[in-house]
């Protein structure tokens, strides 16, 4: 019998007790056994390019591709110039 698995992607933090704390709730109800694959960077922090790459690949942002979400134009608002 073939088992079909569904994958989801979430972020989280591993604490000092080696326990995984997710940043959001799981979209499945339990109790239920799951498989977990942990991907991490050997550095303490991901750089901005890695975060942007992960965000563009994540299905969590697919709704932003909908043209109905394009409610602002270039003439809306005022330019912001960071002086730092």
Where exactly are the structural domains of the chain?
Answer: 12-69
pLDDT for residue 46 = 67
Question: Pick from 30, 33, 34: which is nearest to 8 by CA?
Answer: 34
Block residue for tokens 């799951």 = 34
Query: Do residues 23 and 11 lie in contact, with contact meaning Cβ atoms separated by under 8 Å?
Result: yes
pLDDT of residue 68: 82
Average pLDDT, integer, range 28-49: 82
Bridge partner residues of 12 (DSSP): 22
43 has a pLDDT exceeding 80: no
Tokens of 29: 């109800």
Q: What distance in Å separates the CA atoms of residue 64 and residue 66, rounded to the nearest whole number?
A: 5
Question: Is it the case that residue 57 has pLDDT exceeding 90?
Answer: no
Max mean pLDDT range (4-8, 30-34, 37-41, 78-82): 30-34
- The per-residue pLDDT for 1 is 76
Give the pLDDT mean for 22-43: 87
Q: Where on the phi/psi map is residue 35: left (φ > 0), alpha (ψ -120 to 50), or beta? A: beta
């Amino acid at each position: 019998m073939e088992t079909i698995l569904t994958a989801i992607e979430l972020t989280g933090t591993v604490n000092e007790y080696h326990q995984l704390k997710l940043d959001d709730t799981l979209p499945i109800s339990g109790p239920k056994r799951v498989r977990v694959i942990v991907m991490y960077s050997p550095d303490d922090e991901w750089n901005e390019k890695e975060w942007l790459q992960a965000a563009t690949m994540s299905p969590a942002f697919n709704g932003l591709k909908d043209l109905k979400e394009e409610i602002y134009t270039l003439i809306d608002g005022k330019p912001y110039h960071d002086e730092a």
